[in-house]
């Protein structure tokens, strides 16, 4: 009896399994993914737009006479041209480009090293010059007029304090 009760459940589970598999197969990869993958491998899309003038006839009355004029309409024709570069060509181009960069680096490696050394020494020299300038400015500020006025004021204050101490100090009786 239990086998008969489970049979509809098995069919339902099998139905959902096939439904999920079918949905998964329909979902798959997007076209955008495949285009990006092809572009990485060398696929190129070129859009070419041409303007074509199409003639048409127009009957016009000019001063009582029927005349036929030819006029033109512009129309755009859009053509997409696809070009596929093979993988070996793309690899060859990349390799040739990197080889040329390596040769240029080898040619200028010596001058680049010297330029870097010169740049480092110039930076060090600039730092030393700035330090010397700040030291001279500090020493000028120390020996300036304001510094001497400060010392004079300090000495005067000490002299006044000493005078007041001697003037108002308690006198000791002499024996």
Please report which helix (H) or strand (E) contains residue 105, including its range.
helix 87-142
Mean model confidence pLDDT for the chain = 78
pLDDT number for residue 102: 79
**pLDDT mean over 110-115:** 78
| pTM confidence score | 0.25
Q: 1 pLDDT band (50/70/90 cuts)?
A: very low
Average pLDDT over residues 136-159: 81
Residues, the chain: 175
Rounded to 5°, angle at Cα 86 from 82 and 88: 160
168 — phi, psi (to 5°)?
A: -100, 20
Asked whether 42 and 87 are in contact (CB, 8 A), the reply is yes
Distances (CA, A) of 31 to 35, 46, 105: 6, 18, 41
Dihedrals φ, ψ of 142, to 5°?
-70, -40
Dihedral, CA atoms, 161, 163, 168, 169, nearest 10 degrees? 90
Mean pLDDT of 97-110: 79
pLDDT in tens, 15-43: 888 888 877 777 777 778 888 888 777 77
Mean pLDDT for 64-70 is 76
pLDDT for the residue numbered 70: 76
Q: What is the pLDDT of residue 11?
A: 80
- Mean pLDDT, residues 7-14: 76
Tell whether the model's pLDDT for residue 74 goes beyond 60.
yes
Q: What is the pLDDT of residue 174?
A: 67
Taking 60 as the threshold, does the pLDDT of residue 123 lie above it?
yes
Q: Is the pLDDT assigned to residue 125 strictly greater than 90?
A: yes
Tally the C-alpha atoms within 13 A of residue 129's C-alpha that lie toward its C-beta.
Answer: 6
82 SS3 class: strand
C-alpha closest to that of 20 among 10, 9, 12 = 12
């Amino acid at each position: 009896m239990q086998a008969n009760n489970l049979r509809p459940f098995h069919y339902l589970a099998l139905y959902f399994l096939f439904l999920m598999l079918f949905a998964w197969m329909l979902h798959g990869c997007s076209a955008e993914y495949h285009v990006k993958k092809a572009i990485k491998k060398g696929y190129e899309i070129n859009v070419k737009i041409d303007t074509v003038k199409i003639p048409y006839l127009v009957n016009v009355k000019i001063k009582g006479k029927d005349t036929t004029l030819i006029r033109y309409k512009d129309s755009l024709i859009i053509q997409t041209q696809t070009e596929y570069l093979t993988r070996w060509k793309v690899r060859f181009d990349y390799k040739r480009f990197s080889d040329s960069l390596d040769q240029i680096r080898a040619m200028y490696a010596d001058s680049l090293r010297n330029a870097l050394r010169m740049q480092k020494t110039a930076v060090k020299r600039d730092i030393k010059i700035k330090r010397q300038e700040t030291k001279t400015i500090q020493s000028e500020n120390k020996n300036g007029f304001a510094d001497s006025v400060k010392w004079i004021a300090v000495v005067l204050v000490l002299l006044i304090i000493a005078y007041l101490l001697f003037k108002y100090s308690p006198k000791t009786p002499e024996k």
